[in-house]
Chain A
Amino acid sequence: AQSVTQLGSHVSVSEGALVLLRCNYSSSVPPYLFWYVQYPNQGLQLLLKYTSAATLVKGINGFEAEFKKSETSFHLTKPSAHMSDAAEYFCALFGNEKLTFGTGTRLTIIP
C-alpha cells in the first residue's frame, strides 16, 4: 500500500524567510510525486512533479522540491516567502492508477 505523510498541519513563517514543508512517502514501486497548492475557495493547482528525470524539481512561483530516495522524502522549499504564498499545500503520490494525498499543510505568512 502507498501512503503520504505531511509533517505539520500548520506552518507559519515570516515574510522573506525560508519556507520548508515536509512530505514523506511510502511506495513499493518507484514513485511519481506531486505538490499541489490550494488557495481559499479554489481547486488544487499543480506546483511541481517528480517523475524520476531529476531529483531536484523546480516548480511555479519559486518553489522547488528535492526527491531523496534514502529518506523517502519530497520536501517543498522556497527561499523567500511572500504574502501570496499563504495557502494549503498537498503532497501526493501516484500509483495503482490513483493519487494518494497527504492531509495537507496550511502555510501562514507573518508580515
Chain B
Amino acid sequence: DAGITQSPRHKVTETGTPVTLRCHQTENHRYMYWYRQDPGHGLRLIHYSYGVKDTDKGEVSDGYSVSRSKTEDFLLTLESATSSQTSVYFCAISDVVAGGREQFFGPGTRLTVL
C-alpha cells in the first residue's frame, strides 16, 4: 500500500468552527489531491497540488483552502464549517509516470458538522 495517512480519521464539529484535515505521504510523490465523497456524487475534486506551494482549485473548492509547505504534507482547511461540508474526505497522491497518472488513496476522514 502507498504510504498515505490522514488525520484525524473522524471528527465532529459545530457550524462556524474552523477545521483542518491533514494528509501525509511517505512516497515523495509530486501530486496531491483532496476529494470529498457524497452519496450519488462519487468523488469530487476540491483542490490539488502539483508541487510545494503550487495548488489549484477543483470543481467544489468553495469554502475550502489548502496549503502545501513541504512535499509530504497537504492540508485542507474549512475556514468556517457548514453542515453541507459533512462528508468523507479522501486524500490521494500520484506521480509523473507514462500512461496517465493513477492515484493512490488514503483511508479517508469522516467529518460531521452539526
**Residues of A bordering B, CB below 8 Å:** 9, 32, 34, 36, 41-46, 49, 51-53, 90, 94, 97-99, 101-104
Q: Which of B90, B100, B105, B106 contacts A94 (CB 8 A)?
A: B100
Give the complex CA separation of A32 and B98 in angstroms: 11
Give the complex CA separation of A101 and B103 in angstroms: 12
Kindly state whether residue B53 has any CB partner on chain A within 8 Å. Answer: no
Give the complex CA separation of A9 and B108 in angstroms: 22
Instruction: Give B37-67 as 1s and 0s: 1 = Cβ < 8 Å from A's Cβ atoms.
Output: 0001111110010100000101000000000
Q: Are B101 and A44 in contact (CB under 8 A)?
A: no
Q: Which of B42, B48, B103 contacts A104 (CB 8 A)?
A: B42
Q: Which of B99, B105, B108 contacts A49 (CB 8 A)?
A: B99
CB distance from B87 to the nearest CB of A (A): 14
- In the complex, chain A residues whose CB is within 8 Å of the CB of B40: 9, 103
- In the complex, chain A residues whose CB is within 8 Å of the CB of B58: 98
Q: How many residues of B contact A (CB 8 A)?
A: 25
Q: Are A97 and B99 in contact (CB under 8 A)?
A: no
Counting chain A CB atoms within 10 Å of each CB, which of B45, B102, B107 scores highest?
B102
Q: Are B107 and A43 in contact (CB under 8 A)?
A: yes
CB distance from A80 to the nearest CB of B (A): 26
- 23 residue pairs of the A-B complex, CB under 8 angstroms, read A9-B40, A36-B105, A43-B90, A43-B106, A43-B108, A44-B43, A44-B92, A44-B105, A46-B102, A46-B104, A49-B102, A52-B99, A53-B99, A90-B42, A94-B100, A97-B31, A97-B50, A98-B45, A99-B103, A101-B44, A103-B41, A103-B42, A104-B42
